[in-house]
């Protein structure tokens, strides 16, 4: 059983990674400038027909609890200056009012996929994913006029680029988001395989990541080590 009192910790020059439960650990870490995270969506993960039979991504999502949703209390405005959070379309009625009551301003943004999955499953085809950037005074979005677009257009990862994770975000998406986020310390309480951390290290920021799945945690450690080798001077 995972030790949530004394979690496994891996430290690097610009990153500290925790193997543990974010709901228990995040408040203990103190203030961070921004929470940037892709938490478990809450959505109906059944169906898919022949397409699902050929690809096991949706089964992996169910097996790992990635369709169970997340507790909004993980986003505490007393512990961060801003937040970027991905969510499913069906979660917006809960997430938007919560952020509106917690932060000074917010913006609804999208990642539009060049290669969406060819399914609809009695809904709309998943041609985009939604994320919300909310912030308090002094932590407004940063970047050039072009970098402040609310839309990112990028390929959805396939094959080895998924790092064994069914919902990994591409580097182009996370690089753009980190460009827009203010502050030095970036935290991802649902780190997965470390995509947020890689983008943060590349941008010269400090990163704190929490992940409860040992397999994905090990992948994140390896990815962050490689990012340090490539982008942090010795």
Average of pLDDT values for 166-195? Answer: 96
- Check residue 3 and give its pLDDT: 45
Residue 192, burial from CB neighbour count under 10 angstroms (0-12, 13-18, 19+): buried
Q: Do residues 132 and 109 touch, judged by C-beta distance below 8 A?
A: yes
Q: Does 120 or 109 have the greater pLDDT score?
A: 109
Region 65-74 average pLDDT: 86
Mean pLDDT computed over every residue of the chain: 91
Question: Is 165 or 152 the better-scoring residue by pLDDT?
Answer: 152
From the list 112, 107, 199, the residue with the least C-alpha distance to 151 is 112
- pLDDT, residue 57, reads 66
pLDDT at 49 over 70: no
pLDDT band for position 1 (cuts 50, 70, 90): very low
Query: 16 to each of 9, 82, 93, how far by Cα in Å?
Result: 7, 20, 33
pLDDT of residue 94: 96
The answer to whether residues 33 and 183 touch, using CB atoms and an 8 Å cutoff, is: yes
Q: Which has the closest alpha carbon to 176: 220, 104, 110? A: 110
C-alpha to C-alpha distance for 57 and 186, rounded to whole angstroms: 28
What was the pLDDT predicted at 55? Answer: 56
Residue 46, pLDDT score: 61
pLDDT at 53: 54
Q: Is the pLDDT of residue 181 over 80?
A: yes
Contact 171, 196 (CB under 8 A): no
Mean pLDDT of 86-115: 96
What pLDDT does residue 29 have? Answer: 93
In angstroms, the CA 170 to CA 215 distance is 19
Other C-beta atoms within 10 Å of 133: how many?
24
CATH of 8-231, one of 2.60.120.380, 3.40.50.150, 3.30.70.330, 3.40.50.300: 3.40.50.150
pLDDT of residue 2: 45
Tokens of 132: 């919300």
- Report how far apart, in Å, the C-alpha atoms of 158 and of each of 36, 85, 152, 161, 214 are: 22, 22, 18, 6, 22
Q: Is the pLDDT of residue 37 over 50?
A: yes
Q: Does residue 210 have a pLDDT over 90? A: yes
């Amino acid at each position: 059983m995972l030790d949530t009192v004394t979690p496994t910790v891996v430290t690097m020059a610009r990153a500290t990674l925790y193997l543990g439960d974010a709901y228990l650990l995040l408040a203990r870490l103190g203030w961070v400038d921004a929470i940037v995270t892709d938490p478990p969506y809450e959505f109906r993960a059944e169906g898919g027909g022949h397409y699902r039979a050929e690809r096991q991504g949706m089964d992996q999502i169910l097996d790992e609890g990635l369709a169970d949703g997340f507790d909004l209390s993980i986003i505490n405005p007393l512990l961060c200056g801003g937040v970027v959070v991905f969510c499913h379309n069906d979660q917006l009625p809960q997430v938007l009012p919560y952020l509106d009551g917690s932060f000074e301003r917010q913006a609804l943004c999208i990642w539009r996929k060049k290669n969406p999955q060819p399914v609809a499953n009695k809904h709309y085809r998943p041609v985009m994913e939604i994320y919300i950037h909310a912030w308090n005074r002094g932590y407004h979005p940063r970047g050039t006029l072009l970098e402040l677009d609310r839309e990112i257009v990028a390929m959805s990862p396939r094959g080895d680029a998924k790092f064994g994770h069914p919902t990994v975000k591409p580097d182009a998406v996370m690089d753009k988001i980190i460009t827009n986020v203010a502050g030095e310390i970036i935290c991802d309480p649902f780190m997965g395989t470390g995509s947020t951390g890689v983008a943060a290290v590349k941008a010269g920021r400090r990163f704190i990541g929490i992940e409860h799945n040992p397999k994905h945690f090990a992948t994140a450690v390896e990815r962050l080590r490689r990012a340090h080798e490539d982008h942090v001077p010795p």
